[in-house]
Amino acid sequence: MAELLDKMSYISLEPPKMYRDRLIEIVDFAYLRLREKINGGRICIENEASLQLQLASILKSTGELYECSKNELFSIELEKPVLLSDGCFEKSGTTKAKIDVWVSFENLETKTKNSCAIELKFFKYVNHREPNNRYDVFSDIQNLEAYGSFADLGFLIVATDHHHYVNQDSYSDETADFDFRHGKSYEAGTVLTYKTSRPYGDPITLSNSYSFAWDECTNGVHFLKLPVLPHQGFNTYPTIGAA
């Protein structure tokens, strides 16, 4: 994971930007505390909305601690509406989307600013919705890659109390393309296809490579945090998660 975050600290040949680095630290810290509090029984989440609220609360308090001068401002928005000026989001088929959690760090004097988009998924065993949930995860990654006009970096966070997504032995041939189990990987440009007679969605192709590493918890909630680099025009980034 440290190697992945190092790769996220630059775009092309630009030197690391201070506020981008701070955002990565803030998200890292908030993610760790969220996992600990949920699996320690300190907080309880029943759905994706409560997961979003709890993460946002930790992000806000943590982000404000990183404000070191009167000109620095950490901001957070939930369900931030965004609009593409060119093209459309594959997930919605429209120019519109909503980012689950959007955070930014800026200097009000110099106008220096970096931002981060976070998409969340929470799958409960009692609400088993397979294999559509797996498709939706890759659809969210696709959206994150398209957020280059609104964010400098992104993260997908998946939480579940169901081992099916983490270490299931295998999936059916019809839906096996959509696989983010622990230790699995995705190669940039690979077409993922729902091969059932009535597909849940269109094929998905991602531009970056990814490796999936879960933070597992026996008899608790498993978590996955995946860094995603949004496109800013043409993709000039190093591939992320590649071996």
Alpha-carbon separation of residue 131 from 83, 178, 213 (angstroms) = 29, 8, 20
**pTM score > 0.75 for this model?**
yes
Residue in the block written with tokens 């294999």: 131
Q: Provide the residue ranges of all domains of the chain, joining segments of one domain with +.
A: 2-228
Please give the radius of gyration of the chain, using alpha carbons only, rounded to the nearest integer: 18
Q: Residue 192 is encoded by which pair of tokens?
A: 């993922």
pLDDT surpasses 60 at 235? no
Residue in the block written with tokens 């969340």: 120
- pLDDT tens, residue by residue, 93-150: 888 999 999 999 999 999 999 999 999 999 999 887 889 999 999 999 999 999 999 9
Strand order in the sheet with 153-160: 72-83, 96-107, 113-123, 153-160, 222-228, 214-215
- pLDDT tens, residue by residue, 148-192: 999 999 999 999 999 999 999 999 999 999 999 999 999 999 999
- DSSP output for 37-56: HHHTTSS---SHHHHHHHHH
- Residues sharing a CB contact under 8 Å with residue 78, sequence separation 6 or more, in sequence order: 52, 53, 56, 100, 101, 102
31 neighbors 227 (Cβ within 8 angstroms): no
Strands 210-211, 214-215: pairing kind:
unpaired
156 neighbors 225 (Cβ within 8 angstroms): yes
Cis-peptide into 203, omega within 30 deg: no
